[in-house]
Structure 1
Amino acid sequence: MPKIVHIIHESRGGGGMAIALAYFHRYLPQFETVAITGKLGALPEKLHAQGVRTHALPLDHVWRALFSIPQVTAVLYREKPDIVILHGQWGGFCGAVAAWLTGVKRVLYYTGMPCFYIDWDLYRVVRNRFVEQFCCTVATRVVCLSTAGRYQYLLRRLAPEKKILYIPNGVDTAAIQPAPDKTALRRELHLPVDVPLVVSVGRLEDQKRVDWLVQAWRQVEAECPTAHLAIIGDGRDRKGLERLASAHGLQRCHFLGTQPNGYRYFQAADAGVITSLFEGHPVALLEAMAAGCPMVGTAADGIPETIVDGVTGFCVPLDVPTAIAEKLVLLLQDSVLRENMGRAACERVKREYALDSVSEQQIRLAQEILAADASS
């Protein structure tokens, strides 16, 4: 049986961890599957429980990851994989160097979020260009999560066009469905009952621009006096966001911290919102739509490719809190619109982003690379 080694630096939550838990074990029927992950979070233990043999290394921070390249190389030397699959920039770079050093010829690079969006200074411009160029050069195929992300790689000529593919993220539509009883679910989650409820799920960091949402909520509270906002997630910006909410005098904006199974809050919500400045293809958005939650999202990368504006939710311009507020108010004041959009969102995810279909594309790609080498 061919052997695959996945390399991913994330291990403490977020979209990367969700993807690893959703996909890696699905390779097991066709491939001997091994994972190299960061060691600070729960991912290694959870992958092991799924039957994926796992090596936990200090990949969770960029500098620790770089110093871990000899360890990653040693693991690849021992495992002798047929294919190495790289996930994200820093795990990807460490894995690409290790694959090159050990002579692995078949490498798939799943890019995640394009790192070019953090080219804030000359150091990052040079660093990100070098890292991405090396990964794309070593890789047999480069897989982007959105067509907007693929455009970024094509624009920079990091690899030939035929080498850069598009495969989106997927979501388990059998496990995540609209809640049969929202009232009961709200009571279980200790959420307010019998009031309009908006939910946001994600890290509280610069990329997610939750400050735009907090600013928008001032207008929503004025026009929908009984509406509540539940912000699920944590991060270095939380205290600043709480101060901003207090400065705006918000009474029904609740910071609930990190919660397990964030999608359940979307199941309980009347509407959801994602306000990212840049993205790859957000898993939280797919989970919300699978839960039948109509979404308001900023027009960043994979978001407008997923939300059909005016059908499954609304897309709004970046950095326009009033536009976010207007669409949320529209949804909260029109129950028929919410139901129609939520139903359409759920149907779209099942049709376009079902986990079984997306994982089949990934496994087929690995099989095609093996077959191509065997025939040559």
Structure 2
Amino acid sequence: MRLAIVSLTSGVLSGGCRKYLLRMVPLLLQDCRISRLHLILHEKQLPHIQQLLQCTGVHAPTFGGLRPAHKIRRIVSQLSPDVVLMTTQRWVSTGLPTVVMIRNMEPILYPLGGNPWREVLRNLVRRREALIACRKATRVIAISEFVRRFLIERWHIQPEKIGLVYHGVDHVEPAADGQLPAALCALRGSDFLLSVGSIRPYRGLEDVVQAMGLLSAQFSGLRLVVAGEVDPRMQRHYRQLQTLAERLGVADRLVWPGFLPERVLAWCYRNCRVFVMTTRVEACPNAALEAMHNGCLSVVTSADPMPEFFQQNALYYPPGDGRQLAEQLRKALLLADSQRTAMVEGLRRRAAEFTWQRTAQQTVAELEKTLQQDA
């Protein structure tokens, strides 16, 4: 099977998409059913996936500038793959069997959500592009049961056209204490909560800032680390979070280290007291899988798809309810050692069900189904 993987963006490669490509491409190349793999990327993405270019069998033509869809069609026509996999939920008509992956539910279910008006417009366009892609694709990959149900019940995509393929998680050795950035050095040996993900309104970080204000008297040394980049379009939202922290008297307890390399992030997972996920909507959250793999005691929202992933191995709170989050965090921080150990063991068992090897195998199976559907 000759496979073309297309990443159609304006040049920005999200952390989740980069991780997907870096993990999946080598595994797909190992599968005897894949005879050739073409990775079609925007030219600005190449520096982020340089290590993939060292893999034998990878061909990485690029596009850039105006009319990207036209350029992708021309590249695909020249390469003549058997099947096309679109890793971004956008449609390019190539005349070939095409699989579209739905990986980002923010523009689909949370397009407004306190975003600046230009971001709202971008999200609404992304939502329409995703709907068109799902309707026109030969097959659709949903990366959680929550996404699959949405596609069937809300967008009325035929169930037999949708495959369910979870993402995976792998082991990353944590950084040594001496390798930590300056922003985190003061946390060694101290108690801190950890939240991971880009700083955007749909992440719901105001919940955990409010909870910190409610917990400050009882847990005087507790800090909060928010590991994630601030999108340039989200500076106003970032300032609002800082203002809220100042008003609640906890600004000095919040640490904003920005984007963290994988090994430094692994150190944070290993050393935090509690992992917190306040997001309003996700598809298959990498941070949740990583937290489970590292055995992080977790307090997360009850919004889908969190219960699908954590199951009984987390404490839940209603999104938007900072007071209830504070209560669940208090409960987690005061858990007896035996209770904590039992929950951590459950988290690690659950995380073991999500491997990139399984993701690759199931993805190839979906590609084969696509070819059969098109026959």
TM-score by length of 2: 0.84
Counterparts of 1:125 and 1:14 in 2: how far apart (Å)?
A: 18
Aligned to 2:217: 222
1:239 is aligned to 239
Which one-letter code corresponds to 2:101 in the other structure? Y
2-structure distance, mates of 1:315, 1:353: 21
1:57 and 2:63 are equivalent in the alignment: yes
SS in 2 for 1:229: strand
After TM superposition, the structure 1 = structure 2 runs for residues 74-223 of structure 1, keeping only pairs within 5 Å, are 74-89=74-89, 92-93=90-91, 96-97=92-93, 99=94, 103-104=95-96, 106-114=97-105, 115-120=107-112, 127=125, 130-172=128-170, 175-176=171-172, 185-186=176-177, 188-189=179-180, 190-223=185-218
Q: Which amino acid aligns with 1:326?
A: E
Counterpart of 2:53 in structure 1 is 48
Structure 1 SS opposite 2:199: coil
Q: State the SS of the aligned residue for 1:225.
A: coil
What's the offset of the Cα at 1:46?
3.8
Q: CA shift at 1:191, angstroms? A: 4.7
Name which of 277, 285, 288 aligns with 1:285.
288
Per-residue deviation, 1:157: 4.1
Q: Which residue of 1 aligns with 2:2?
A: 2
User: What percent of counterpart residues are identical?
Assistant: 22
Report 1 or 2 for greater relative contact order, CA contacts < 8 Å, sequence distance ≥ 6. 2
Residues 137, 13 of structure 1: CA spacing in aligned structure 2 closer, same or farther, 3 A cutoff?
A: closer
Q: Distance in 1 between matches of 2:128 and 2:259?
A: 34
Q: Distance in 2 between matches of 1:347 and 1:8?
A: 35
For the 8 Å contact 2:110–2:281, the answer to whether it is kept is: no
SS of 1:223's equivalent? Answer: coil
Contact 2:4 2:40 in 1 (8 A): no
Aligned to 2:40: 36
Alpha-carbon shift at residue 213 of structure 1 (Å): 1.4
What do the CA deviations read for 1:221-259 (whole angstroms, capped 9, x no partner)?
A: 222112121111121233332232222211321111111
Q: Residue 168 and residue 207 in structure 1: after superposition, are their counterparts in 2 closer, same or farther (change >3 A)?
A: same
Structure 2: 5+ residue stretches without partners: none
Q: Which amino acid aligns with 2:227?
A: I
CA contact (8 A) 1:176 1:291 kept: no
CA-to-aligned-CA distance 1:66-104 (integer Å, 9 cap, x gap): 831111112111111111111232xx22xx33x2xxx21
Deviations 1:255-276 (A, max 9, x none): 1111111233112212111111
Q: For residues 142 and 303 of structure 2, what CA distance do their matches in structure 1 show?
A: 15
Q: Which residue of 2 aligns with 1:363?
A: 364
Partner of 2:73: 73
The structure 2 residue matched to 1:339, chosen from 335, 338, 341, is: 341
Q: In structure 1, how many angstroms separate the alpha carbons of the residues matched to 2:121 and 2:225?
A: 37
* Counterpart contact for 1:11–1:39, Cα < 8 Å: no
Aligned to 1:264: 267
CA contact (8 A) 1:214 1:244 kept: yes
Report the CA distance shift for 1:199/1:127 in structure 2 as closer, same or farther (over 3 A): closer
Name the CA shift for 1:5/1:299 in 2 (closer, same or farther; >3 Å).
Answer: same
- Superposed CA deviations along residues 41-73 of structure 1, whole A, max 9, x for unmatched, are 543424324453323434xxxxx7x83111111
Flag the 1:226–1:363 CA change in 2: closer, same or farther, 3 A: same
Q: Give the distance between the partners of 1:362 and 1:282, measured in 2 at CA.
A: 18
Residues 176 and 44 from structure 1, CA distance in 2 versus in 1: closer, same or farther, beyond 3 angstroms? closer
Provide the secondary structure at the position in 2 that maps to 1:230: strand
* Aligned pairs, number: 349
Aligned equivalents of 2:275, 2:288: Cα separation in 1: 9
Match among 295, 298, 312 for residue 301 of structure 2? 298
Match for 2:168: what amino acid?
A: G
Give, in whole Å, the separation in 2 of the partners of 1:187 and 1:219.
Answer: 33
> 2:27 aligned with 1:26, yes or no?
yes
| CA distance in 2: counterparts of 1:274 and 1:313, whole angstroms | 11
Are the structure 2 counterparts of residues 28 and 158 from structure 1 closer, same or farther at C-alpha, using a change threshold of 3 Å?
A: same
Cα distance in structure 2, aligned partners of 1:6 and 1:227: 44
Distance 1:299 1:38, change over 3 A: farther
Partners of 2:40 and 2:61 within 8 A in 1 = yes
Describe the shift of the 1:126–1:246 C-alpha distance in structure 2 as closer, same or farther (beyond 3 A): closer
Q: Which range moves more in the overlay, 240-249 or 141-150? A: 240-249
CA distance in structure 2 between the partners assigned to 1:160 and 1:240 by the alignment = 42
- Contact 2:190-2:221 at 8 Å conserved across structures: yes
CA–CA separation in structure 2 for the residues paired with 1:257 and 1:218: 22
SS, match of residue 27 in structure 2: helix
Instruction: Let me know the Cα RMSD of the aligned residues.
Output: 2.7
Q: Residues 221 and 165 of structure 1: is their aligned pair in 2 closer, same or farther, counting only changes over 3 Å? A: same
SS in 2 for 1:276: coil
* CA–CA separation in structure 2 for the residues paired with 1:144 and 1:363: 14
What's the counterpart of residue 349 of structure 1? 351
